[in-house]
Amino acid sequence: MTVTKKVPFVTFRTRVRDDSIEGPNPYRWENKTSDDYFGGKRVILFSLPGAFTPTCSTYQLPNFEKLYDEFKKEGIDAIYCISVNDAFVMNAWGKSLGLQKVELIPDGSGEFTRKMGMLVAKDNLGFGMRSWRYAALINDGAVEQWFEEEGFSDNCESDPYAVSSPQNVLQTLQAAA
């Protein structure tokens, strides 16, 4: 679906590696804003219910990583994965998957997800408030294309995954070229 809406402005609390810090956790806090991630770039943002969850860890994130170079050929500057998880969880998840290309955005409080209209309750799974699964093509902070899974609802019994898959998003971009 084609839409044009600005992404909400929020500040994300991230943890970045800092080699000047000694010890087993050489990371420091760094605030990054929506403008840092989405301003002046053409990016893919995809969101999922949670780090370390089966579909997200087995298919969605690894396949965006594998297809990264194909997205670059379509004029995509970066691919971001956002989840209602804190920076510690997102960093550990990225490390466990050996990510090199896709960048992870921690939305620990769910502020960005809520302002995007994608925050849902997943109490039936013991998750609390999380993101509905979606992807978006964002150009200089404006959402140009939207890929939302069917069945948006609180405590959804299923976990739909097709529309926001990297394969579908890439195919849509290629067809539009």
Catalytic residue among 56, 90, 97, 170: 56
Long-range contacts at 117-126 (CB < 8 A, ≥ 24 apart): 118/47, 118/148, 118/152, 119/84, 120/152, 120/153, 120/154, 120/155, 120/156, 121/154, 121/155, 122/49, 122/154, 122/155, 122/156, 123/154, 123/155, 124/155, 124/157
Q: Is 56 a catalytic residue?
A: yes
Query: Catalytic site residues?
Result: 56
